[in-house]
Amino acid sequence: MRHDYLRSVYNTHFKKSPQDILRATAIGGIEELMAGLDDLLPPSRHLDDLLCNLRLDPAIPSLAIIRPLIPPPSSFDVAEGPDCEADQEGLGVYARGVMVLLYSYAENRDLARTNVWALRHFLALAIYAEELLEVPSLPNPAFSRVAAKDVLQDVIIKVQQLTAYLLTTSVADDSWRVDVVTSLLNGKRSSSSGGLSTFTIGLIEQVQKEDDSVHARILHTVLQHVLRDASKEEADQWLSLARRLERNCKSIVLIPRTSS
Sequence-ordered list of residues with C-beta below 8 angstroms from that of 185, at least 6 positions apart, any chain: 237, 240, 241, 244
State which residues form the domain around 211.
175-246
Are 208 and 249 in contact by the 8 Å Cβ rule? The answer is yes
Does residue 68 belong to any structural domain of this protein?
A: yes
Give the Cα separation of 242 and 260 in Å (integer). Answer: 21
- Worst-scoring range by mean pLDDT, 112-116, 168-172, 206-210? 168-172
Three-state SS across the chain? CHHHHHCCCCCCCCCCCHHHHHHHHCCCCHHHHHHHHHHHCCCHHHHHHHHHCCCCCCCCHHHHHCCCCCCCHHHCCCCCCCCCCECCCCEEHHHHHHHHHHHHHHHCHHHHHCCCCHHHHHHHHHHHHHHHHHCCCCCCCCECCCCCHHHHHHHHHHHHHHHHHHHHHCCCCCHHHHHHHHHHHHCCCCCCCCCHHHHHHHHHHHHHHHCCHHHHHHHHHHHHHHCCCECHHHHHHHHHHHHHHHCCCCCCCCCCCECC
Are 139 and 145 in contact by the 8 Å Cβ rule? The answer is yes
Per-residue pLDDT reduced to its tens digit, 36-85: 455 557 778 889 999 999 999 999 999 999 887 888 898 899 999 999 99
- Worst-scoring range by mean pLDDT, 52-66, 128-142, 174-188? 174-188
Residues 15 and 101 in one domain: yes
β-sheet bridge partners, residue 91: 143
Tell me the average pLDDT of the chain: 82
Per-residue pLDDT reduced to its tens digit, 229-257: 788 888 888 888 888 877 767 666 554 44
β-sheet bridge partners, residue 143: 91
Using alpha carbons, select from 111, 114, 103, 97 the residue that is nearest to residue 54. 97
Give the Cα separation of 90 and 103 in Å (integer). Answer: 17
Residues 10 and 76 in one domain: yes
Residues 84 and 209 in one domain: no
Residue type, 138: L
Does residue 256 belong to any structural domain of this protein?
A: no
Number of independent structural domains in the chain: 2
Residues 142 and 220 in one domain: no
Are 218 and 120 in contact by the 8 Å Cβ rule? The answer is yes
Residues 241 and 116 in one domain: no
Give the Cα separation of 47 and 158 in Å (integer). Answer: 19
Residues 215 and 87 in one domain: no
Length of the chain in terms of residues written: 260
Last residue within a domain, chosen from 169, 199, 219: 169
For residues 173 and 260, which has the higher predicted lDDT (pLDDT)?
173
β-sheet bridge partners, residue 230: 258
Residues 123 and 240 in one domain: no
